[in-house]
Amino acid sequence: MPNIHCELRTFTRPNRSTPQNVTVTEKMLLDCAAKVGIPTIASHPARRRPLAEMQWRTGIVAANLRPTTSGKSWTRTDAYINLDPSEKSAVSYFLGMAQAALTTRYVLGYPHLVHVDLLLQHQGTPLTGRRPDFVAVNPTSTRGAAYSAVVEAKGRSNGFDERPLDRAKTQVATTPAIRGLSPVERVASVAYFDDSDCWASVLKDPDGDGGELELGLESFLLIYYQTIIEAGRESETWALVDGRYRFALPDFPLEFELPELLVDAYDASAEIASAKDRDREAAILTSYYEIAASATATPGDLISSRFRDGANATTLADLFERYDE
């Protein structure tokens, strides 16, 4: 299965050895791409098209990345190589965010990633000055033990360069933190293609500190789960099956699903206008811990995906460009 080579620099927390090779299947890649970025459901609710945007995000990675012939790494497709410079910059930016979602989840252990601009917009703060891309959170399965990080993602269309990493370090140095949840690390992330044209990663934890957002963990989780729940409700395939809401991802043999308990809690939380009142009621967070208490393993992200009936990993892999090099 394809891997991403990941170099970690100056991290001090446990399990941060370097280098690491993280396995990333086609399904894992699409799972992370579907949820990353700034959906209009949160930034411009009156012009929302969450399902179409979900298709766009997953389509971007499927059109521009492919496994190498050996199947051991990810590389660029011909479509990506032949983009003009402006198009390539836009795609590289999104691939940088998608890779940051993968590495923060599967290397650093943060299953929830929300764009900082969405958090600032949610609390009515003007979007001015330099700031990081994301706040990442692991609610964990124990009350009061949640922890967070801030993440700045850079994407390159060619080889590694220290300058984007330096810019990322500057942006995560002044950090907006979830109320009551100070970041335990700051992550500067650069996605690039190495000398063998394989998609690779450098992560660095620079020093810094920053202010605190007016939003608590409940509001953070509301914004995170909103994207997929509202995309599902836009789909004709949205249905409740055995205690889980499920919907199909157009153009791919995948279905996304969420626990009924979480969706009900999301609806209850979304009805509360005040962020402080919402955080105090904590409907989503309470449901998260209730689900976690009955889980056999730490649940992480409560959004999961499965292959549609009759499909499997091979069916999905066949949708990605492959040829002899």
Task: Give CA–CA dist 237/247, Å, rounded.
Answer: 5
Task: Give CA–CA dist 113/142, Å, rounded.
Answer: 19
Which one-letter DSSP state was computed for residue 308? P
Task: Give CA–CA dist 277/35, Å, rounded.
Answer: 26
* Residue pLDDT, tens place only, 81-128: 999 999 999 999 999 999 999 999 999 999 999 988 888 787 776 666
* Residue pLDDT, tens place only, 134-146: 889 988 756 567 8
Q: Tell me, what amino acid is at 310? A: G
Give me the torsion for CA of 161, 162, 164, 165, rounded to 10°. 130
pLDDT > 90: percent of the chain: 56
What is the reported pTM? 0.90
Residues 6+ apart with CB under 8 A from 64: 76, 77, 79, 80, 91, 95
* Residue pLDDT, tens place only, 162-220: 887 877 767 766 666 677 777 788 888 999 999 999 999 999 887 666 566 777 889 99
Predicted confidence (pLDDT) at residue 325 exceeds the cutoff of 50: no
Residues 6+ apart with CB under 8 A from 51: 231, 232, 234, 235, 250
Task: Give CA–CA dist 44/61, Å, rounded.
Answer: 24
- Say how many residues make up the chain: 325
The predicted pLDDT at position 143 comes to 59
Secondary structure of residue 216 in the 3-state scheme: coil
